[in-house]
Amino acid sequence: MRRRNRELNALNAMAVIATQSFDLDEILNLTLRQVISLFGAENGSVYLATQPDGTYRRRAGWGPRSEARARMAEVVFPEGLGDLVMRSRAEVVTQDFVPHLPPAVVEFACADRLPYWVWVVLWSKDKPIGIMALRGRKTGTTPATMRTCWSPSAGNWRRRSKRCSSTKRLAGV
């Protein structure tokens, strides 16, 4: 019940954030903090595409940042996010995708050397326009738990939140 209240509280806070401000950076930063808090991640970033050539710029970040991550305010993926991500239009990318990702993407995703990470790829029509990256050390916040709980579609929220609660209960979170 507490978990559900936290999830609902986070959703309400994000709705308030989106309706109170027209500043994209403020919306991204506050929303990222809510998502990090909800999933118990250690840190996170939001990168938005700036050019069609695969250049992404960090627009929001929260949590301790490694030296490698601090240097990555802007990143270029010359080969894009990889064939598998593009063909499947994957919304969630985890360690399972590493063998199928271009080297520049793998290097970027693993720069912090944290054991758990998950990306939420933000799509517009047929191309990615952003990445929300969550990272952590805690074993309770597994990529599978984050992947199961994340729902970019409000229509799927009820079904996914039930599955999320079940997954969290099984994981002992």
Locate tokens 């993926």: which residue?
Answer: 77
For residues 113 and 85, is the Cβ–Cβ distance under 8 A? no
DSSP track, 105-124: HHHHHTTT--SEEEEEEEEE
pTM of the model: 0.71
Task: Give me the helix-helix angle, 2-20 and 157-171, nearest 10°.
Answer: 140
The 10s digit of each residue's pLDDT in 107-128 is 888 887 878 889 999 998 888 9
The 10s digit of each residue's pLDDT in 79-111 is 889 889 999 999 999 888 999 999 999 988 888
Q: What percent of the chain has pLDDT over 70?
A: 77
Predicted local confidence at residue 20, as pLDDT: 72
Domain 41-165: CATH architecture, name and number where available? 2-Layer Sandwich (3.30)
The residues spanned by each domain of the chain are 41-165
